[in-house]
Chain A
Amino acid sequence: MSTVERAAPARAAAHPATRRRLRDREWVWGYAMIAPLVLGLGVFYLWPVVQSVYYSFTEWTLFGDSSWVGLSNYEKLFTDAAYGKALRNTFLYGGLSLLGIPISIAVAALLNTKGLKLVSFYRTLYFLPVVTMPTAVAMIWTWLYNGDYGLINYALSLVGIEGTSWIANPSTALYALVLVGVWTQIGYNAVIFMAGLQSIPSHLYEAASIDGAGRVRQFFKVTLPLLSPSVFFVSVLSVINGLQMFDLVYLMFRKGNPAREDTQTVVSLFFSRAFEEGAKGYAAAMAVVLMLITLLLTVVQFRMQKRWVHYA
């Protein structure tokens, strides 16, 4: 995943065009070397976008015939209660998953403590959920959340709290999902924050400490502002990932789960409409709208970054 910002190639400085003799055939080599990639991305990614947009104006029968229906798929989106619910769930999920960012910053700051030993050991442990297969993650947490035999409810019972069937209870299911999402993201985000922290020049801390700032004050006055580009990057990423939520929802909330409609995301709804119910045209319209939402949110985030992101 990347951001718009990186799309603008800042190549003036790095490009050694000056002394190079322009060869007649350089362009042939250039085209030849990009050809496989351009063909692959063109066939499997770029052209499909065009096709999908076209499909969003068509209707498909169950077995694959399609016909032009104009805007009716988009009209249907406005009246589809399941889609409205999925939008709400998706935004709620995306928003709540931002709560993982402060935890990740704390972990990164702790790991970045000068003179700390065992850093890579800790990092490995925090990173384990990131590399674990989502299918496995879903199974493990489904079991932990079990209302009768789950470890979580057992732990709660020790302190006198009676738990619930966390992922079958419509009022807790989405939050249970957010917790799993955050758990899988902490290690990843912490690594990005550690890189951000390490790029903060130490003389700034020295200056702050001469001014009499304690460690907490230093954190808020020096660390956080200088970390803001990383925070920005991670929050854009979190929101985009949140909008894309699929694996865990698909695996943890199967058919017959009473909390299913309270946890379906736009992408899981897209999946069942397109590939389980065969409504590919309607699903394509959902995907197009999701793209517009993603673009809009990204633009908003970039607009807002001017207010709080400090580029050193």
Chain B
Amino acid sequence: MTGKTWALVCAGALVAGLAGCSSSGGGDSDGKVTLTYAYWDEKNQGAAMKKIIEEFTRTHPSIEVKLQFTPNKEYWTKLQTAAAGGSAPDVFWMNGPRIGLYASQGALMPISDQIAQDKVDMGKFPKSLVDLYTIDGKQYGIPKDFDTIGLWYNKALFDAAKVAYPDASWTWDDVRAAAKKLTDPGKGVYGIGAMAWPQEVYYNTIFQAGGYVVSDDKKKSGYDDPATIEGLKFWKEFLDQKLSPSIQQMTDNDPIEMFKSGKLAMWYDGSYDAPQYAKTEGLAADVAPLPAGPKGKATVIHGLANVVYAKTKHPKEAWEFLKFLGSEQANKIQAESGAVIPAYEGLQETWVKSMPNVHLQAFIDQLPDAKPYPVSKNTAGWSAAETDAITKAFSDGQDVETVAKQFAATMNAALSQEK
């Protein structure tokens, strides 16, 4: 803190209409540097993050790392306003939909030079993830983890309805048949949850039907493509036949909670929610690979990366910390916590073993069929409208095809504004 005097000078300057006051904080007098590290998942990953920092500060006693947790819903708002004000955290979590924007707006520090200098082996990470965080030939992040989607199911409900557990051979038809048998209106049990969530739910079936969300050249929306619409209709059928709770019901009651409390027999969800399901008392859940659609198997793969803020006051220390976050040691801590699948090669096994009561291997087995999470340069320019549109499409009395085609026009307009 630079004190009250400075504040008064600033206030005075503002009265006079002058802008451009910024406090010049920085290193402490004893030479110890404090870095801030921002993340958004406390429930599943908070413990691992703390442990990683503990390890890091043991080997780097001159650097202190302060964890800054922000719930997912507020994370990007906060980061954006902080970045605009030149006060973002030094190191923070980044995801696929945002990387294009943050990198192109100069909010992130390119790390290609440092990688070359310190000989960091990027070959240890899945190529699709390394590519995701490479913008215009420059590397901006080191992959932190990855996730795929699986078919979670409630074993007790399957047993009660005498339905065989899902396995790798399942197709859409098996899901349809099982959902019918598992739905029990009297008990308030639904076969499946057809929530309007992109990554966990409808992106997967869009790919399984042979559709796409954004064209490869990032210029065209896939929502007017018949295959894409088929992927959406798969879910709409469950809603229409009341084999899934309505979108309204799942707004009132989070489908994750519904699955945990035995109201949903089947539920598509990511590997990142595995700890919740494996540890809920009284819930006998397991997971299988996603069933194949008309055009075969597919699952969305996405992964986070750690990135450095372009205007960090301690670029050297931030890079040291980033390097550590990308090290085998840090990835191992993540793996053991079971929270996420670590991005570092060879550590997936550790993660799979972290929750022996569920077949986490299903998430790893799907890697050959995985499709990258669809992004464009400014994904945020259309993703909110996408959620609104598909939520509407899935609501009672709406026609999926009409709504999807309407949205395709909106999305095309947004894509055309990207440079």
Interface residues of A (CB under 8 A from B): 39, 42-43, 47, 61-64, 142, 145-150, 164-165, 167-170, 254-258, 260-261, 275-278
Contact = CB atoms under 8 A, between A and B. Distances in A.
Given A43-B14, A254-B73, A63 B84 contact: yes
B251 A257 contact: yes
Contacts of A63: 80, 83-84, 105-107
B77 A258 contact: no
Interface stretch (B131-139, B161-169, B343-351, B384-392): B384-392
B81 interface: yes
Interface stretch (B143-151, B241-249, B264-272, B359-367): B241-249
B341 interface: no
Contacts of A146: 252-253
Contact of A165 (B76, B85, B252, B380): B252
A47 B89 CA distance: 30
A174 B80 CA distance: 31
B251 A62 contact: no
A165 B246 contact: yes
B101 interface: yes
B251 A165 contact: yes
A47 to B, nearest CB: 7
A83 to B, nearest CB: 14
Given A62-B84, A62-B101, A255-B387, A39 B251 contact: no
Contact of B73 (A39, A255, A260, A275): A255
B251 A256 contact: yes
Nearest to B247: A258
Interface string B377-406: 000100010011001100100000000000
B11 interface: yes
A42 B249 contact: no
Contacts of B11: 39, 43
14 contacts: A42-B15, A62-B105, A146-B252, A149-B253, A150-B252, A164-B248, A165-B252, A168-B252, A169-B248, A255-B384, A255-B387, A257-B391, A258-B247, A261-B388
Interface of B: 11, 14-15, 17, 73, 76-77, 80-81, 83-85, 101, 105-107, 188, 196-197, 246-249, 251-253, 380, 384, 387-388, 391-392, 395
Given A257-B251, A258-B247, 12 more contacts: A142-B252, A147-B249, A149-B253, A165-B246, A165-B251, A168-B247, A255-B73, A256-B387, A258-B248, A275-B81, A276-B76, A276-B80
B388 A260 contact: yes
Contact of A148 (B76, B107, B253, B380): B253
B377 to A, nearest CB: 12
A63 B14 CA distance: 21
Contacts of A148: 188, 249, 252-253
Nearest to B394: A258
A261 B403 CA distance: 15
Contacts of A165: 246, 248-249, 251-252
A64 B246 contact: no
B80 A278 contact: yes
Contacts of B188: 148
Contacts of B81: 275, 278
Nearest to A165: B248
B84 A258 contact: no
A3 B73 CA distance: 38
A147 B252 contact: yes
A197 to B, nearest CB: 41
Nearest to B410: A81
Contacts of B391: 256-258
B85 A168 contact: no
A69 to B, nearest CB: 15
A260 B196 CA distance: 14
A276 B380 CA distance: 11
A255 B197 CA distance: 11
9 nearest interchain CB pairs? A64-B84, A165-B248, A168-B251, A168-B248, A146-B252, A276-B77, A63-B84, A147-B252, A258-B395
Contacts of B249: 147-148, 165, 168
A275 B77 contact: yes
Contacts of A258: 247-248, 251, 391-392, 395
Contacts of A255: 73, 384, 387
Contacts of A275: 77, 81
Contacts of B14: 43, 47
Contacts of B196: 256
A269 to B, nearest CB: 12
A158 to B, nearest CB: 19
B94 to A, nearest CB: 15
A33 B357 CA distance: 72
A260 B251 CA distance: 11
Nearest to B378: A62
A278 B378 CA distance: 13
Nearest to B258: A148
B105 A147 contact: no
